[in-house]
A and B are shown apart, each in its own frame.
Chain A
Amino acid sequence: MRFISFKTIPVFLLMIFTGAGGLHAQSAVDLRINEFLVYNDSNYVDDFGEHSPWIEIFNTAFNTVDIGGLYLTDDLSVPAKYKIAAGQPVTRIPPRSYVVFWADNMPTRGILHLNFSLREGKTIALFDVNGRTLIDSVSIPRTVLRNVTYGRIADGGSAWSNLEKSTPNANNDTSDKVTSGELFMQMDPSGLGMTVIAMSIVFVALALLFLFFKYLVKVIGIDVKKQRQSRAKIRAKTGTQTWAGGDDTAGLELSGELNAAIAMTLYLYSVELHDTENAILTINKVSRTYSPWSSKIYGLNRLPK
């Protein structure tokens, strides 16, 4: 018995191809070093109540990403400097969320405490589970301000700056945001703009379908006229009458009257079928073979002795 036919090979190849990404790590490429603080005198405190340098990692994806098993380092020549513990709830970063590591060189204090500290000129880097593939890195500027974090202006964005506010475990962009709904309200208070734009898009989407199917018959080789003519020819050969209108091109076109007439005929025929039923009742004797399963002898109404 063959378990894999030749037809299934392309399917397996496709599965291997699409599943290849899984070898990389579960969406680890979506992680970004988002913000860090080198000199912490009066900023965020750790779980030991101490002010320590910290690094924030941001999950840019819309699914949970497990950072466990990946490597953090401050030296690109030593990528596997600190292996993040795997299988821990705290290393599972929810969608569009954060995790903060303490760069206090105190790894015995917990899995979020790194075995290095931060200094100007160093490079913070995040490596994949294989310890070779670089996911993200950032060089610490030569001049960093005390108690002022350096981070991406927008979470996961490419531009970096000293941030106005320290935002560990929070969005780096602290400016007031206008929702797209509010923006529409400001720019288009009557809703006319929305109507014009949206109706245009609806029309474009459905017009695409219209054009596609208008020309589809030609693309896939269906000639409607030829189809009609050939059916008319078949009818002529078999001696069936042409339809109302009589011409060949109207081959498949049934008039409303004809449709109604056919429907009425069928209906009357079905009604007629039941009108002349005879009233002879035939009674046949049915012989039943004996079975102990249906025997009354073994019925439940028989009282136990």
Chain B
Amino acid sequence: MENSGFYHFVVDHVSQFLSYTAFANLTVGHVVMIGVGLLFIYLAIAKGFEPMLLVPIGFGILVGNIAFAPGYEIGIYEHGSVMNFLYFGVRYGVYPPLIFLGIGAMTDFSALISNPKLILVGAAAQLGIFGAYCLALALGFSPTEAGSIGIIGGADGPTAIFLTSKLAPDLLGAIAVSAYSYMALVPVIQPPIMRLLTTKKERLIRMKPARVVSKKEKIIFAIAGMILTTAIVPSAIPLLGMLFFGNLLKESGVTKRLADTAKGPMIDIVTILIGLTVGASTQATTFLTVKSVGIFVLGALSFAIATIGGVMFVKIFNLFLKEGNKINPLIGNAGVSAVPHSARVSQVVGLQYDKTNHLLMHAMGPNVAGVIGSAVAAGILLSFLA
């Protein structure tokens, strides 16, 4: 009798333990998401697609989709869990400005300063944000959700996370994963559109080499850039303030240690945290919805519209420029702020038509202007919709 009681005791506890395991709680959704996580890791390691982003996000997806019994402070959405504490930086928009600080400390704005008209290309490419906003509204998303989806077209992960955390936190996982995925796919999305919209003659346009930019100009850019842009859109202060502050640390020449930290260990730490937690936030139970599918479709369209906006703006702008000052429209795609991937796409496509026409440094101008432009656009959406 006593043995039978002990037997039941053991069986009960073993079955209780088994009910807590991931195998007992596994759903088809979890399996699908684990597959997505593995795909991200494969693309990063085997194909070299944005490994710095896709490895943390991919592994985060695995971490977030190990099924568990709720109520034990394990999941990223469970108050008090360690993952929830780390997710705080995403949920409340802490990480994106820190990433912008690092980006500022590693960005050289010389290309932009030497040829300021390229700044406007960065503005034109923000059409992707608002094009996707319109499409999202048409598909029945609320204005705040549409704004968050639209920002994917800015091709800037931190900006997308920052804005979504304020406007539509429920969509954070889907939008962040979508933004980073399409950033990795810039070399796939943009070239066909660039070829479609340009003539062979336009692709062969040679641009004047950039002039030498003095240290004084670079320092003034960091300060004036911050004041001019944030004065118009104060809601972009967290992003642009940090971006230009990081740039001042770099360009001032007297804060090398701080700049090195901002663009080195600090941005690495924040990238690890943001990547892992964004990945883990894609729990199948909250991520696999019809809305997420819509977000992914609209995300791809927003990148396409942004590319169209940038390339077409250059073509129109060229009508007003003198011969010799014309801009190669192949750098129009770089107006999206996926730095430096989209500028690299300009270079690669340009070289396909003229092996001696190097567009990389020219494309860096609109590319860094795109960073500023998307942050400004995020600020506008925040002030209009929040």
Q: Which A residues contact B (CB, under 8 angstroms)?
A: 180-182, 184-185, 189-192, 194-195, 197-199, 201-214, 216-217, 220, 222, 224, 227-228, 252-257, 259-260
Contacts and interface: CB of A to CB of B under 8 A. Distances in A.
B316 interface: no
Contacts of A192: 134
A202 B335 CA distance: 13
A185 B229 contact: no
Interface in B329-378: 356-358, 369, 372-373, 376-377
Contacts of A214: 116-117
B245 interface: no
19 contacts: A180-B385, A181-B147, A185-B137, A190-B134, A191-B130, A194-B384, A198-B126, A205-B376, A206-B229, A208-B232, A209-B224, A212-B116, A216-B113, A222-B214, A222-B216, A222-B217, A227-B212, A257-B356, A260-B356
Contacts of A228: 211
Contacts of A217: 217
B221 interface: yes
A210 B116 contact: yes
B228 A209 contact: yes
Given A181-B143, A217-B217, A202 B376 contact: yes
For B208, B216, B228, B233, which residue has the most chain A Cβ atoms within 10 angstroms? B228
Nearest to B207: A256
B123 interface: yes
A185 B143 contact: yes
A195 B131 CA distance: 7
Contacts of A206: 119-120, 122-123, 229, 369, 372-373, 376
Given A184-B385, A207-B120, A190 B137 contact: yes
Interface of B: 112-113, 116-117, 119-120, 122-124, 126-127, 129-131, 133-134, 136-138, 142-144, 146-147, 206, 208-209, 211-212, 214, 216-217, 220-221, 224-225, 228-229, 232-233, 356-358, 369, 372-373, 376-377, 380-381, 384-386
Contacts of B142: 181, 185
Contacts of B143: 181-182, 184-185
A253 B130 contact: no
- 9 tightest Cβ-Cβ pairs between the two chains A and B: A191-B134, A181-B143, A195-B130, A213-B116, A206-B123, A256-B356, A181-B385, A205-B232, A210-B119
Given A185-B137, A198-B130, A205 B233 contact: yes
A233 B112 CA distance: 27
A203 B232 CA distance: 11
Q: Is the interface of A mostly helix, strand, loop or mixed?
A: helix
A180 to B, nearest CB: 6
A180 B386 contact: yes
Contacts of A260: 356, 358
Nearest to B369: A206
Contacts of A220: 216-217, 220
Nearest to B380: A198
A191 B126 contact: no
A210 B146 CA distance: 30
A191 B220 contact: no
Given A206-B372, A224-B211, A252-B211, A212 B385 contact: no
A290 to B, nearest CB: 41
A90 B376 CA distance: 40
Nearest to B122: A206
Contacts of B369: 206
Contacts of B131: 195
A209 B116 contact: yes
A252 B120 CA distance: 25
Contact of B381 (A198, A212, A254): A198
Given A205-B232, A209-B116, A259 B137 contact: no
A201 B381 CA distance: 11
B356 to A, nearest CB: 4
Contact of B146 (A191, A199, A207, A209): A191
Given A195-B127, A216-B220, A260-B358, 5 more contacts: A180-B385, A184-B384, A185-B142, A205-B228, A206-B229
A213 B365 CA distance: 13
Contacts of B138: 190-191
A257 B217 CA distance: 29
A208 B376 CA distance: 13
A254 B381 CA distance: 42
B141 to A, nearest CB: 10
Contacts of A254: 209
Contacts of B381: 198
B376 A213 contact: no
B212 A202 contact: no
A192 B216 CA distance: 41
A260 B360 CA distance: 13
B327 to A, nearest CB: 13
A231 B32 CA distance: 63
Contacts of A212: 116, 224, 228
Contacts of B216: 220, 222
Among A180, A224, A227, max chain B CB count under 10 A is at A180
A209 B212 contact: no
